[in-house]
């Protein structure tokens, strides 16, 4: 695995959602010292649209460079850009790996690489990423950043992997992490969930991260209840685990409820973490 550098990768198509992604990433970068790296995926559709507009890849590259200069001036952070031919569903993740980025920030309701990427399509980009992905809509990040973070926690072993990334982000914004525990009625799962909560509490204490614990109700499902809870506490960020098959026992994954989560009505940004098979092999920890 490539060494993770101080780079935040942002796929852009110059849409409003992409601009919001830049806004969120720049806030993080202004505190962490990371460099913003814009990427635009070029495919057949892109070239066709450029041809119809009487433009070339040089024109597109110039537009990217102009946006980089705007970012530097507006946000006062380091920035760069490049074009990349390929598929939005795989090339973004490949680029993140190659340049050693440690975070990907992406807008949903926009168009990336001249292709619509909302809801289920975004999942393909998220699950192909070697690093956590923050999904945003059109709501700009607050001046205080990700001050309140909602962290759903369940009985799965993999949920611990979110703790590491949550701590790293919380340290930058002096955040409070609000753990939202799943409802369980099986004794084994209750014990597993409680052990996970205790482990997370210990990790938060060791890293001087403020936290609290709230429990989900019996009905409604963890995903739906978490979104409602996050709205009630005016959360700035939700942290969820993606599902790449049988690795997670939780219903709070990018499965049937993924569109509701990443496209939630409150437009709360969502950090998605892809689980790895071995917790101790994680090499893409943010900002630690």
| Structure token digits, residue 109 | 């309701």
What value does the mean pLDDT take over residues 179-201? 96
Candidates 14, 42, 10; CA nearest to 50 is 42
**Given the DSSP bridges, would you call strands 115-116 and 111-112 parallel, antiparallel or unpaired?**
antiparallel
- The CA distance from 269 to 263, in Å, is 9
The values of phi and psi at residue 135, to 5°, are -100, 130
Q: Which band of pLDDT confidence, cut at 50, 70 and 90, is reported for residue 282?
A: very low
Sign of CA dihedral 87, 88, 94, 99: positive
Where are the CATH 3.40.50.620 domain residues in the chain?
7-136, 148-281
Select from 3.40.50.620, 3.30.9.10, 3.30.50.10, 1.10.3720.10 the CATH code of 148-281. Answer: 3.40.50.620
What is the pTM (predicted TM-score) of this model? 0.88
| Structure token digits, residue 64 | 């990217």
Work out the end-to-end distance of the chain between its first and last CA atoms, rounded to an integer number of angstroms.
17
pLDDT recorded at residue 112: 44
- Report which of residues 43 and 70 the model is more confident about: 70
Burial of 152: CB neighbours in 10 Å, binned 0-12, 13-18, 19+: buried
What value does the mean pLDDT take over residues 14-42? 94
- The CA distance from 23 to 105, in Å, is 10
Helices 44-52, 57-75: inter-axial angle, 10-degree rounding: 100
In this structure, of 1-5, 26-30, 167-171, the range with the lowest mean pLDDT score is: 1-5
- Architecture field, domain 7-136: 3-Layer(aba) Sandwich (3.40)
In this structure, of 64-73, 224-233, 254-263, 274-283, the range with the lowest mean pLDDT score is: 274-283
Can you give the chain as a three-state secondary structure string?
CCCCCCEEEEECCCCHHHHHHHHHHHHHHHHHCCEEEEEEEECHHHHHHHHHCCCCHHHHHHHHHHHHHHHHHHHCCCEEEEEEECCCCCHHHHHHHHHCCCEEEEECCCEECCEECCCHHHHHHHHCCCCCEEEECCCCCCCCCCCEEEEEECCCHHHHHHHHHHHHHHHHHCCEEEEEECCCCCHHHHHHHHHHHHHHHHHHHHCCCEEEEEECCCCCCHHHHHHHHHHHCCCCEEEEECCCCCCCCCCCCCCCCHHHHHCCCCCCEEEEECCCCCHHHCCCCCCC
Average pLDDT over all residues of the chain: 85
What value does the mean pLDDT take over residues 190-202? 96
- The CA distance from 230 to 227, in Å, is 5
pLDDT tens, position by position, 65-107: 999 999 999 999 999 998 999 998 899 999 999 999 999 999 9
- Report which of residues 253 and 210 the model is more confident about: 210
pLDDT tens, position by position, 111-155: 444 334 444 567 788 888 999 999 999 999 999 999 999 999 999
pLDDT recorded at residue 218: 92
Partnered with residue 36 across adjacent β-strands are 8, 79
Q: Are 279 and 157 in contact (CB under 8 A)?
A: yes
What value does the mean pLDDT take over residues 259-287? 71
**Given the DSSP bridges, would you call strands 111-112 and 103-107 parallel, antiparallel or unpaired?**
unpaired
């Amino acid at each position: 695995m490539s060494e993770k550098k101080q780079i935040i990768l942002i796929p852009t198509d110059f849409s409003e959602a992409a601009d919001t992604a830049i806004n969120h990433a720049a806030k993080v970068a202004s505190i962490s010292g990371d460099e913003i790296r814009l990427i635009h995926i070029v495919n057949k559709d892109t070239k066709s649209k450029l041809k119809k507009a009487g433009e070339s890849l040089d024109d597109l590259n110039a537009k990217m460079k102009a946006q980089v200069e705007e970012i530097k001036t507006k946000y006062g952070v380091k920035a760069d850009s490049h074009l990349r031919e390929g598929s939005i569903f795989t090339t973004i993740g490949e680029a993140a790996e190659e340049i050693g980025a440690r975070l990907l920030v992406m807008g949903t309701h926009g168009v990336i690489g001249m292709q619509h990427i909302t809801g289920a399509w975004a999942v393909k980009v998220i699950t192909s990423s070697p690093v956590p992905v923050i999904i945003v809509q059109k709501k700009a990040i607050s001046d205080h950043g990700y001050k309140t973070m909602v962290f759903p926690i369940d009985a799965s072993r993999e949920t611990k992997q979110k703790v590491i990334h949550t701590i790293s982000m919380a340290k930058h914004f002096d955040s409070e992490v609000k753990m939202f525990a799943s409802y369980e009625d099986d004794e084994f799962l209750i014990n597993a969930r409680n052990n996970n909560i205790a482990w997370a509490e210990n990790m938060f204490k060791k890293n001087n991260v403020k936290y609290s614990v709230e429990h989900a109700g019996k009905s409604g499902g963890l995903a739906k209840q978490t979104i409602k809870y996050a709205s009630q506490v005016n959360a700035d960020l939700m942290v969820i685990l993606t599902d790449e098959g049988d690795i997670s026992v939780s219903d709070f994954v990018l499965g049937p409820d993924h569109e509701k989560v990443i496209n939630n009505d409150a437009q709360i940004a969502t950090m998605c973490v892809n689980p790895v098979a071995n917790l101790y092999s994680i090499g893409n920890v943010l900002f630690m």
